[in-house]
Amino acid sequence: MSHTDKIIKELKKHIASFQTDVQTEEVGTVVEVGDGIARMSGLTKCQSQEMLEFEDGTIGVALNLEEETVGAVILGDFTSIREGATVKRTGKILSVPVGEKMIGRVVNALGLPIDGKGDIKEDDFYPVERIAPGVMTRTPVDTPMQTGIKAIDALIPIGRGQRELIIGDRQTGKTAIAIDTILNQKGQDMICVYVAIGQKESKVARTVRVLQQAGAMDYTIVVSAGASEPAPMSYLAPYTGCSMAEYFADKGKDVLVIYDDLTKQAWAYREMSLLLRRPPGREAYPGDVFYLHSRLLERACNLNDQNGGGSITALPIIETQGGDVSAYIPTNVISITDGQIFLETNLFYKGIRPALNVGLSVSRVGGAAQIKPMKKVAGSLKLTLAQFRELEAFAQFSSDLDADTKRQIDLGRRMTELLKQAQYAPLSVEHQVVSIYAAGQGHFNEIPVNDVKAAEKRLLELADRSYAPILGSIKAGEWSEEVQTGLKALCEEFKTLS
Amino acid sequence: MATLLPVQYAKILYTLLHEAKDKEVSDVLKVFVTLLHKDQMLLKIDYIIAAFEKHAKKEDGIREIEITSARALSAKSITEIVKPFGKNVETTVSVDKSLIGGVVVRDGNIIFDASIKKQLQELTRSLA
């Protein structure tokens, strides 16, 4: 028998025994399509949060399971979906790709790349909605997460695993603080996830550019749901970012997630809920808008060593209208988070940047998230600033004031000047300690207020040049006699130079 | 204002007619049409009628089976396909060349897909 015959015979044998696999699918019919939502009949066994596939491959998520219909949001283009079209169940809960290869990329709310650098090979799929880690898996926050911003690291310290809200009106530098924090994580063994929700594409492009130029994209993932994308994408993006962060936290890494901003997510959720005909409540938000944010922010955690020891630090951003923090969404998120950084328009225009309101900003975790030297020098700073605020009103009568009050006002002015910081210029913790120490000890008192910044620069240059070992010890968290005498000597030398 | 769905109107109508005596039927229909008018649902009357037919068949235990195949099927194969679905079956048969081969059977909300097209799609998906 020739070779060909053998093959033919073999082939015939296979054909004779060929059986097709029958794929069983459960389907429904679209009865109504609206802005980004669809209602479908059929789909009797559909689960909540299940992915549905429309005829053109667009994905939907079932949210409302009603007696006759299923209400779903459409993740993608809904213009091609028509009444009467067939919808398939996928049997999968909405999940997104996660993995190491995501780092350095810009992805959309579904985890698909939008930076034109080709496909991303995922390591795993994580469900978008995950239950937050429980009590037994957590440990108190004890490691600092340095933002590189003097005013924050000294007065409102943030720890790894904390949730610190950044709140303020538009154009007060909320995003700037978040970006500076990402830039300062270079070499800190931290992975950053920046979630841009409902932002202008141009702003996202600018942010990505800044991160690239500073080399921060080497440890950052950007998740973007643009302003032109349908509302469900904005609703989903924070959860997607959080799932990506959880992948690394599960591996024992420290992760920082920034949600910029949750106000827009709440808007998107309101839009979806109203279209899905859920009853509106205060400010037309649905009743579960609190749970929308609490279940997201609760996923920030500091895991104990038995659970890998990873952490997720969350920096949610909320935009207020006219400084009104008592609106619905701001009060909700303030109550969920472990403190807030409050930014004010009038401070911003006074030239105090970052425009941090030191009095209203708090961190509930506080000192536990500071290294010892910082704790020591920041204590007096807090007091000085509080006294300065009380006396500030009298500052204009400076000629009639007693010497003591005048001294306090002068010190307060210099401290305020010292806490100003340029954008994209994060400062390492040891440098922060040196400059706050010097100011606290009154070494800037003879310098005119306008020259404080320049003097600080000279001081830090001197420290880098001649006192590197002291800086090293401060960074390691030491506050010994040796370090203190070193700092004293540094200040003396600085004084003789200037 | 969101009113009921056509399916729900159909169900209402079916229950009403089921309980009504022969003489009352025209009265029931009159009231029903008034209700539709009030709810501004007269535009959707075609959908309601279709849904009513479907629902009535379901209540009477008739199953509607849609068979789509790549080539026209012989009467024998159709009876063979329909067999597992029981006796009270209404079949609609259509031809869709894009299936390449095999058949797709739809029973209400469930689709049994044994077409070559589907197999190829599955193959692409598994290779991707």
Pairing of strands A220-226, A190-199: parallel
B106 part of contact set with chain A, CB < 8 Å:
yes
Q: What whole-number distance in Å separates Cα of residue A365 and Cα of residue A9?
A: 77
Please tell me the distance in Å from A433's CA to the nearest CA on chain B.
54
Q: Do B5 and A68 touch (CB under 8 A)?
A: yes
Cα–Cα nearest to A334, from A195, A163, A138: A163
Measure the N-to-C terminal CA separation of chain B; round to a whole number of Å.
46
Instruction: Give the pLDDT confidence of A240-281 residue by residue, as tens digits.
Output: 999 999 999 999 999 999 999 999 999 999 999 999 989 999
| Beta-bridge partner residues of B114 | B103
B124 part of contact set with chain A, CB < 8 Å:
no
Q: Which residue of A has its CA nearest to B116?
A: A20
Contact call for residues A203 and A178 (beta carbons, < 8 A): no
**Torsion angle, CA of A297/A303/A307/A312, rounded to 10 degrees?**
50
**Which residues on B lie below 8 Å from A56 (Cβ)?**
none
pLDDT over threshold 60, residue B71: yes
Banded model confidence at residue B61, pLDDT cuts 50, 70, 90? confident
The rounded mean pLDDT for chain A is: 92
Cα–Cα nearest to A313, from A104, A134, A168, A158: A158
pLDDT over threshold 90, residue A329: yes
pLDDT over threshold 50, residue B4: yes
Q: Do B114 and A28 touch (CB under 8 A)?
A: no
Q: Do B118 and A23 touch (CB under 8 A)?
A: yes
Mutate to test the interface with A, among B77, B109, B122 (most CBs of A within 10 A): B109
**Torsion angle, CA of A398/A403/A409/A410, rounded to 10 degrees?**
100
A119 part of contact set with chain B, CB < 8 Å:
no
Q: Within a 13 Å sphere around the CA of A361, how many CA atoms are in the beta-carbon half?
A: 24
pLDDT over threshold 80, residue A19: no
The per-residue pLDDT for A326 is 93
pLDDT over threshold 70, residue A475: yes
Residue B112 amino acid letter: F
Q: Within a 13 Å sphere around the CA of A386, how many CA atoms are in the beta-carbon half?
A: 9
Helices assigned H by DSSP within A304-426: 328-336, 345-349, 372-391, 403-419
**Which residues on A lie below 8 Å from B46 (Cβ)?**
none
Q: Which 8-state DSSP code applies to residue A221?
A: E
**Which residues on B lie below 8 Å from A44 (Cβ)?**
109
Instruction: Give the pLDDT confidence of A41-68 residue by residue, as tens digits.
Output: 888 899 999 999 998 889 999 999 988 8
The per-residue pLDDT for B3 is 67
Mean pLDDT of B32-49: 88
Please tell me the distance in Å from A114's CA to the nearest CA on chain B.
19
Please tell me the distance in Å from B112's CA to the nearest CA on chain A.
5
The per-residue pLDDT for A153 is 93
Q: Do B111 and A25 touch (CB under 8 A)?
A: yes
Lookup: tokens for A313: 């630090």
Q: Do A44 and B113 touch (CB under 8 A)?
A: no
Pairing of strands A220-226, A106-107: parallel
**Cα dist. A493→A209, A405, A472, A488, A498 in Å?**
41, 28, 19, 9, 9
B91 part of contact set with chain A, CB < 8 Å:
no
H or E stretch at A311: strand A311-319
Three-point CA angle A440, A444, A448, nearest 5°: 140
Locus of tokens 């006219």 = A322
Cα–Cα nearest to A307, from A136, A55, A137, A112: A137
B1 part of contact set with chain A, CB < 8 Å:
no
Helix A481-497 to helix A452-466 angle, to the nearest 10 degrees?
120
Percent of chain A with pLDDT over 70: 99
**Cα dist. A443→A395, A493, A494 in Å?**
21, 11, 9
pLDDT over threshold 50, residue B1: no
Instruction: Give the pLDDT confidence of A356-414 residue by residue, as tens digits.
Output: 998 889 998 877 889 999 999 998 888 888 888 888 887 777 677 888 888 888 889 89
Q: Three-class SS of residue A291?
A: helix
Residue among B5, B110, B114 whose CB faces A69 most closely:
B5
Cα–Cα nearest to A194, from A174, A215, A220: A220
Contact call for residues A263 and A168 (beta carbons, < 8 A): no
Q: Which residues contact A357 (CB under 8 A, 6 or more apart)?
A: A342, A343, A344, A347
Q: Which 8-state DSSP code applies to residue A268?
A: H
Banded model confidence at residue B2, pLDDT cuts 50, 70, 90? low
Contact call for residues A314 and A259 (beta carbons, < 8 A): yes
Residue among B5, B109, B118 whose CB faces A28 most closely:
B109
B114 part of contact set with chain A, CB < 8 Å:
yes
Q: Do A26 and B114 touch (CB under 8 A)?
A: no
pLDDT over threshold 80, residue A151: yes
Q: Which 8-state DSSP code applies to residue A144?
A: B
Q: Do A21 and B114 touch (CB under 8 A)?
A: yes
Q: Within a 13 Å sphere around the CA of A3, how many CA atoms are in the beta-carbon half?
A: 0
Cα–Cα nearest to A360, from A302, A397, A399, A320: A320
Q: What whole-number distance in Å separates Cα of residue A277 and Cα of residue A63?
A: 12
Q: Three-class SS of residue A38?
A: strand
**Contacts with A, B 4-63, CB within 8 Å:** 5-8
Mean pLDDT of B42-48: 87
Residue A85 CA from chain centroid, whole number: 39
Q: What whole-number distance in Å separates Cα of residue A489 and Cα of residue A470?
A: 11
Verify whether residue A206 is a known catalytic residue.
no
Q: Do A25 and B114 touch (CB under 8 A)?
A: no
Q: What whole-number distance in Å separates Cα of residue B83 and Cα of residue B93?
A: 15
pLDDT over threshold 60, residue A196: yes
The per-residue pLDDT for B114 is 87
Percent of chain A with pLDDT over 90: 74
The per-residue pLDDT for A379 is 86
The per-residue pLDDT for A20 is 64
Q: What whole-number distance in Å separates Cα of residue A482 and Cα of residue A468?
A: 13
Lookup: tokens for A440: 């606290």
Mutate to test the interface with B, among A23, A32, A40, A120 (most CBs of B within 10 A): A23
Q: Which residues contact B57 (CB under 8 A, 6 or more apart)?
A: B63, B64, B90
As for the ipTM of the complex, it is: 0.79
Q: What whole-number distance in Å separates Cα of residue A374 and Cα of residue A159?
A: 14
Neighbours of A453 (CB within 10 A): 14
Lowest mean pLDDT: which of A209-223, A275-289, A292-306, B52-66? B52-66
Q: Do A27 and B109 touch (CB under 8 A)?
A: yes
pLDDT over threshold 90, residue B79: no
Q: Three-class SS of residue A198?
A: strand
